[in-house]
Amino acid sequence: RSGSPLSPPDAVSQVTVRDALNQALDEELERDERVFLLGEEVAQYDGAYKISRGLWKKYGDKRVIDTPISEMGFAGIAVGAAMVWLRPVCEFMTFNFSMQAIDQVINSAAKSCYMSAGSISVPIVFRGPNGASAGVAAQHSQCFAAWYGHCPGLKVVSPWSSEDAKGLLKASIRDDNPVVMLENELLYGVPFEMSEQAQSKEFVIPIGKAKIEKPGTHVTLVAHSRPVGHCLEAAAVLSKEGVECEVINLRTIRPMDMETVEASVVKTNHLVTVEGGWPQFGVGAEICARIMEGPAFNYLDAPAVRVTGADIPMPYAKILEDNSLPQVKDIVFAVKKTLNM
C-alpha cells in the first residue's frame, strides 16, 4: 500500500482479544434471543477477565447469569438448556476448573447427538482461558487441547489473534454441535490488527480451517493459540539467516485441517509442531502421526520435530515456568535441527 492512507473499505484498527470476544458475545446475544451467557462472575462483575463487560447491564439477568461456584452444576444446567434448543455460552473461569464438569462436557454434551441417532442436538459453547498463565502453578496451568480434541462429538477451537477470537466464537455459538473454545489469558490484553470486514456483525471464521500466517519455503511450523506468536517471532529470527518458515495457525484442534498442513509439508519438506501442552499424546503427536500415515510423508526430508511444554506439572517459580514452556529459542533450535544447520 506504499504508505498511502487506507481507504475506508480496508480500514484496519487495533483491537484486543478481550474486546474482540466481547464484541462477538454482544453481537450474538443481540442477533439470537436463544443465546445466553452463564458462569462465575460473568454478570454484575463484568467477568473475571472482563470479557462480558457491559453485557449484563445491556441484556439483563435472564441473558447473562451469575452462577454459584459449581462447575458441574452450571455446566449441567447449560447442557440441559441446549437440549431444548437454547444456545448457552458456558464460561469456565479457567479450563482447569472444567475438570469439575468434564462428565457434563463429554458424557452429556458430546455424546447426546450420536446416542439419540441425531434427534438431540446440543448447541452449546464451553469457553474460557486455557493453558499456562503466569505464576499460577501446577493446578491452573494445563492445556486441554489434547484432552478435548480426543473426544468425538465435540468441536474444539483455539484462537490466537483478535480476528480468530471473534470469528471462531461467533461460528461456535451458531454451530449446532457442542464446541469447546480454548482461549489464552495472556492474550486477552494483546492488541491485533482487525480489518473493517472482521469487525462486521456477519464476520465468522469457518470451524476446521487453518490459516497460513506467513508463507515460507524451507520449513513448516504448525501451532495454535499463543505459540503462533512465538513461531512468527522465531520465523523473523531465522529469516535473517536465510531460512523462510511457513507458519500455520491451526485455529481448530478438532476437526483438524490436515489438508493445509499436508500441502505446506509437500512444499517445504520439513515439519516442526509447537504447543504449550504436554508432549505425550499431544496435538503435535497427532499431527506427526497423520503426516506419517498420509501422502505428505514421502515429501519429508527429515523427521518431524515436536516442540512442547515440559513433561512435568507446572512449577510456580518464574524461571522454572519459563523453562517449562516453549520459547522462541526452542523453536529456532528445533528448526535448525530439522534442517541440519
Q: Which residues are catalytic?
A: 71, 140
For 163-195, the DSSP string reads: HHHHHHHHHHHH-SS-EEEEE-GGGTT-EEEEE
For 191-206, the DSSP string reads: EEEEETTTTSTT----
Which backbone phi and psi does 18 adopt, to 5 degrees? -60, -50
Q: Which residues pair with 222 in a beta bridge?
A: 248, 273
In single-letter form, the type of residue at position 263 comes to A
How many other CB atoms are there within 10 angstroms of residue 107's CB atom?
14
Q: Which residues pair with 249 in a beta bridge?
A: 211, 223
Cell numbers representing residue 231 in the block: 513461531
Handedness of CA 337, 338, 340, 341 (dihedral sign): negative
CA distance 210 to 212: 7
Cell numbers representing residue 70 in the block: 459449581
Closest CA to 13 of 191, 188, 160: 191
Residues in the chain, overall count? 341
* Chain centre distance of CA 315: 23
Q: Where are the beta strands (DSSP E) in the chain?
A: 12-16, 35-39, 64-66, 87-91, 125-129, 155-157, 179-183, 191-195, 211-214, 219-223, 245-249, 252-254, 271-274, 305-307
| 52-to-32, 78, 206 alpha-carbon distances in Å | 17, 17, 23
- Sequence-distant (6+) residues with CB within 8 A of 149 are 156, 253, 254, 256, 283, 286
Asked whether 297 and 291 are in contact (CB, 8 A), the reply is yes
